[in-house]
Structure 1
Amino acid sequence: MATLDAYGPPGNLDDLDDFGRKAWNKFISDTVDEAVQGPDPRQVLNDSPRPQFYNLTGTDTASDVQRASITWTAFPRIIKITSVGDLQRWQRADASRDVQDEYCEWSVARDGSGKITRVTFTCEGPEYWEVLAQTNPDKVVDLYRAFISPDVRKEDLFSPSGRYQPRNKWNDSTSHGAMHLIQANNTLGAEIELAAAATIRRVLNGQELSTEQELVNCSKYGAAERNSDPHIGAGVNALARQKADISLADPVGLYFDDLSTDGWETPDGSDPRSYWTYVRGDSEHRVRAVYEVPQAKGFAVGDITIGGRPIEFGAQIADFITIRLTGLACRFNSSTAQPQTACKEFPAVDVRPEGFGASAFSTSGRFLDPRPTLSYRSSRAT
C-alpha cells in the first residue's frame, strides 16, 4: 500500500478550505512525528524513541494491515469510583465539563419545570477548532449558530485581538451548549501521544508487562483510574508485542461508537434508541450526537426511564455511550525494536530560579504545548 497523501479532518468534515486542510495535515503529521521521537531523554527516562509508531504520510502501510478498534465507556470512571452511589456520581458528572475526561463531554437542556428535553454530546478535539478559527473564523461562527444558538456573536467566540477562545460563553458549561471538547486532557495531541507511548514494550525482571494497570502505571501515559487511558494503552501494546508497526487510522480522531439502550423504556413503548441522532461527522466517524424526543411525541427525554428510573441527568445516558479510536498495525513479526527494561522516570533536575518562565505553565500549573497557537495538553497523565 502507498503512503497517505494527507491526513484528513476528523469525521471527514468539510468545514476547512484548501489552506485549512493543508494546515490540519501539517498539525497531525508534525504531532505524530513528535510522538514517534518521544520526549527528550535528558528530561524523561525510558520513554523514547518509539520506533514501532509511524506517520501514515511518511511510511507506507504494508499489505498485512489490520484495523483495531478500541472502545470504552464515556462516563468518567474517576467520578464513579470516588462517589457514593449513582445519584452522587450523576450529579457530579453533570456539574462540570472539567470532570468529563473520557474524550466525551455533554450539555443538558431542560424545560421550565426542570425536565430534560435534550442532551448534546461531543467528542471533537479542540485542535481542529483552533485550525478552523485561524483559517476561516466566519465558519466557526456559522457552526456555533447552527449547532448551539442563532444568538451567537463573533465577539462571544474571539478575543479583541482575534484569537479563538475555546472556553467561551457557549462552550464552557453543562447547560449552555457543548461545541467541542474543553476538558484539559481531552485533546487529539494527548490521544496521539498516548498511542505512541503505548507502543513501547516493557520487560521488568524478565517478565513482559501486558495488563492494563501494569502498563499504564509503568509507562505513565495516562491516569490509571480512567476507562480510556489504560484500555487504549493495553490495546495498542498488545499489537506492539506482536512486533508490528502501529499508527492511528486516518482520519485521526475520537469517535462515537454506539449507544446501548438495554433496560430503557419509553412512555409509549417506542424504541428509545430512535431518539439518538448523529449530527456531525460521516457514517463511520461520528463526532456529535443528540438525544432528543420530537415534540410531536408528547413526552420528553426526562419521561424515559433507565432501569426503572427517569432520566434526570445527562450522565445517565453517558453510562451507555461508548467512544472509539481505531489503530492500524502492519508488518507483524518484523519490528526489531527492543523493549525498555525500566519504567518511565523523571530524573531530578536542578532548576535555577531564572530558568522559570510564566509562559511555560497554564493557570493550573500544567505544562503547555510549546506551539504558540495550539496550547493543548499533549499528555493524558495527571
Structure 2
Amino acid sequence: MTTSKSTQWTTFQTPACQVDFSDSKLQGRMNQLWNTNLSGFTRQGITGNPWTATNSSDQTWYFDPTTTDTSEGGYASITWSPVPGRIKYYFPNISNPDMWSLADTGYDTNGVTFGRISADPCDPSDTSKIPYGPYGPRGWQDEYCEWSITRNADNQIVRIDFTCENPEYWNTLWMVSPQRVVELYRETLDKPQIALEDLYLRDVSGAPVIDASTGRPAYDPLNKWNRGTASTASAGGAMHLTSTPNTLQTEIGLGSTATTPRTSGNSNAETLICCAQYGQIGRNSDPHIGQAVNQTVTPPNPVVPSARATIANPPGLYIQKPDFGMITAPRGIDPSTFWTVKRGRETLTDPQGRELPGNFILHAVFEVPAELGFTISDLEVEGVPVQWAAQIAQTFNMQIAAMALPQQPGPAAQACAGSPAVPFAQALQLFHTPVFEAMLATPIANPVGQPMNLASNSTMIAPQIEPGAQRRPMTLVVTGLLDPPQLPTISFGPGVHVFGGTMRPVTYAIPGNTYPSTSYALSLLVSVDSDAAPGLRDVTVTNPGQAPQAAVPALLNVVDPVAKDMV
C-alpha cells in the first residue's frame, strides 16, 4: 500500500534532506538520480545473495519506505561510538594513547602500525593471521565516521573535520555538477585553493578519464583533498567516507540481512554477526546495528510484536552532538562554541510532522577560534589533555534512524549463512571500461603496506547508457564462476545487447567489503536499442551448463538522452 505524498516521503530523500543546489532544475535532477540509486540499493538488499551463499536471500522483512505505508511505523535510534572498536577488540592491552594515535594516524605513539590479526575471528580453530584492515589512507576508521586533523607549526591540533557523508552521494552530486562539488569542497573545508582539476580521476598517463555516463571527467573519490587524516594547505581533508566498508549501499545491505531471524538467536551480537555473516566482528557499529534490527524483527521478549524494519528515510549515517560536559577549556569557556555543523542539520521532521530521533549532522568542524589564544591541544577530555582527535571523537556517537512496522506472525528462523556446494555466477559491479581500468591501475598507499587500488573506492551506482548507444566498452565484475572459469552468458533484458567477452582475474575490495578479494572482470561491448525502455536494468549471469538464476538488481541505468543532457 502506498500513502499520499502529504503523509510520507514517496521518494528517497537526500541524506539529512540536504539541498545543495539553488537552481531548482539541478536540485530536481539530483533528487531524481538519488532516488534511482537508493531504490536500486534497496532492491539489492532485499534480494540478498542467492548465488554464492546459503540462507541469505529473499530478505523481505526489510521494506522500502517509499512504497510502503509507514503511517503506523515507529522510529528508533541506533547509536555507537565512532572510535574504531576493532583496535581494542584485537589489541585489548593497548594503552589509550596508543589506541588514540592508531585511530588518528594508523601508527601508535612509537610509530608502529597495526599488528596482524585473526583471519577468521568467527572460527576459533583458524589460527591464520592477516594484516589489519581495512586498507587505505584512513581505512581503519571503519565506524562510518572519518576525520582529518589540521596542526600548526608547533604540532598542536587547531582543527578537526568529522564526516559521515557517504561516497555514493558525492558521486551522484558529481554526475549532476562537478562545479558544485568543487564549490562545496572549498566551502566545507575552508580551502578556496581547491581546483576542479584536483578532483579528476586520471589514467596512468595523468590524463583525465572521461566517464561515458556523463561525457565529462570522472570523479576521484580519493583525490588529494579527501585523503588521509592529515590536513594541510596543500593536501588532505575529510570530505566524505573512504574506508571501503563505509558505504550507504553496504549499510542497507547490512540492515536487510539483519532482518532474517537466525537459529543462533540474537541475545549475543557477536554470535549473531558470525551466523548471519554481515559486517565485521569487533566493530562498535555492525554487530550492534545488526542485533538491534534483528531484535526488532524477532524480539527477545515474546510479548513485544515482531515487525518489519528499514533504515528510516532519509537513509544515512549521522553524527550526534558531543557531550560537551566531557570537555574542559581554559578560562571556563564553553567548548560547545568550538563545534560547527557544516553540513546536515540537528533535527528533522517527516511529512506527518513526527520528529525523527537524534541529530542529522553530516559534517562538523571542531575548532578553537584563533582570537582565544589557545588550541584544541589545550583542552582536556575527562581530565586528560587532548593530543589526538580521537579523544574528541569519544565525546559523541554515530546514529542510524530505523523504522519498524508491527506485523504478525514473525518469520521463521533460518540456519546460519554458509557456502553452497555448487555456487552460481553472480554479478558484482558494472563499470564503463575506461573508468574501471584507471581505478584498477591506481595504487593506494596504506600504513600496513598491503596492495590496494582505487577500484576499492568505487561505488555500486549503476553506470548510465543512453538508447541508441553502440558497442560501448563496459566491464562486468563477477564471481561464482566454474572451476576452471568459463565465460558465462550475460543478459540485461530486452533492448540491451552484449557482444564479445574476455575475462581476467582482478583483485580489489568490492565496495562495502573490508578486504580485497579476487573476482573476474569480463570485458564487454554493450549496445542499446534506440527504443529501449529507460530505467534501471538487472543482469542475469549464467554459467555454462547451469540454469539461469535470479537477476542481480540495478546494475545498469538506461537513461533517456534528454535526461542525460541535464547531467
> Do the two structures share a fold, i.e. TM-score over 0.5?
yes
**In structure 1, what is the Cα distance between the partners aligned to 2:156 and 2:503?**
48
Q: Report the structure number with the largest CA radius of gyration.
A: 2
After the TM superposition, which residues 103-118 of structure 1 pair with which residues of structure 2 at under 5 Å, given as runs?
A: 103-118=144-159
Match of 1:73 among 81, 103, 110: 81
What amino acid sits opposite 1:238 in the alignment? Q
Match of 1:226 among 283, 286, 298: 283
Match of 2:306 among 243, 249, 255: 243
Match of 2:11 among 6, 12, 17: 6
Match of 1:137 in 2: 178
**In structure 2, what is the Cα distance between the partners aligned to 1:174 and 1:312?**
14
The structural deviation recorded for 1:351 is 2.8
What amino acid sits opposite 2:81 in the alignment? T
Match of 2:274 in 1: 217
Farther-moved stretch of structure 1 (113-122 vs 80-89): 80-89
**In structure 2, what is the Cα distance between the partners aligned to 1:256 and 1:365?**
31
Farther-moved stretch of structure 1 (358-367 vs 250-259): 358-367
Match of 2:261 in 1: 201
Match of 1:157 in 2: 199
The structural deviation recorded for 1:361 is 4.3
Match of 1:59 among 65, 68, 91: 68
CA pair 359-127 structure 1, distance change in 2 beyond 3 A = farther
Is 1:49 aligned to residue 58 of structure 2? yes
The structural deviation recorded for 1:310 is 2.0
- Between structures 1 and 2, the one with greater strand share: 2
The structural deviation recorded for 1:359 is 7.3
Structure 2 gap ranges (5+): 22-26, 106-136, 202-207, 211-216, 231-235, 299-304, 348-359, 424-481, 488-501, 510-515, 522-551, 558-567
Is 1:291 aligned to residue 443 of structure 2? no
Match of 2:90 in 1: 82
Match of 2:245 in 1: 185
CA contact (8 A) 2:56 2:417 kept: yes
**In structure 1, what is the Cα distance between the partners aligned to 2:249 and 2:318?**
15
The structural deviation recorded for 1:220 is 1.0
Match of 1:173 among 221, 228, 237: 228
What do the CA deviations read for 1:279-298 (whole angstroms, capped 9, x no partner)?
10122221011111111212
Is 1:325 aligned to residue 400 of structure 2? yes
**In structure 2, what is the Cα distance between the partners aligned to 1:88 and 1:184?**
23
Match of 1:379 in 2: none
Match of 1:376 in 2: none
Match of 1:31 in 2: 41
**In structure 2, what is the Cα distance between the partners aligned to 1:61 and 1:307?**
42
- Indicate the RMSD between aligned Cα atoms, in angstroms: 2.2
Secondary structure of residue in 2 paired with 1:327: strand
What amino acid sits opposite 1:157 in the alignment? L
The structural deviation recorded for 1:357 is 4.2
CA pair 359-155 structure 1, distance change in 2 beyond 3 A = farther
Match of 1:338 among 394, 412, 416: 412
TM-score, normalised to structure 2, is 0.61
The structural deviation recorded for 1:353 is 3.6
**In structure 1, what is the Cα distance between the partners aligned to 2:100 and 2:79?**
21
The structural deviation recorded for 1:372 is 7.2
Secondary structure of residue in 2 paired with 1:321: coil
Farther-moved stretch of structure 1 (183-192 vs 208-217): 208-217
CA contact (8 A) 1:39 1:48 kept: yes
**In structure 1, what is the Cα distance between the partners aligned to 2:271 and 2:503?**
35
**In structure 2, what is the Cα distance between the partners aligned to 1:178 and 1:163?**
19
The structural deviation recorded for 1:371 is 4.0
Secondary structure of residue in 1 paired with 2:332: coil
Count residues in correspondence. 366
What do the CA deviations read for 1:28-85 (whole angstroms, capped 9, x no partner)?
1111111111112x4110011111111112222242x110110000000112333421
Match of 1:93 in 2: 103
Farther-moved stretch of structure 1 (234-243 vs 255-264): 255-264
Q: Quick one: percent identity of the two aligned structures?
A: 34
Secondary structure of residue in 1 paired with 2:362: strand
TM-score, normalised to structure 1, is 0.90
**In structure 2, what is the Cα distance between the partners aligned to 1:14 and 1:142?**
14
Farther-moved stretch of structure 1 (171-180 vs 74-83): 74-83
CA contact (8 A) 1:267 1:304 kept: yes
What amino acid sits opposite 1:90 in the alignment? W
**In structure 2, what is the Cα distance between the partners aligned to 1:360 and 1:68?**
41
What do the CA deviations read for 1:86-110 (whole angstroms, capped 9, x no partner)?
1211111111511000000000001
Match of 2:420 among 333, 347, 352: 347
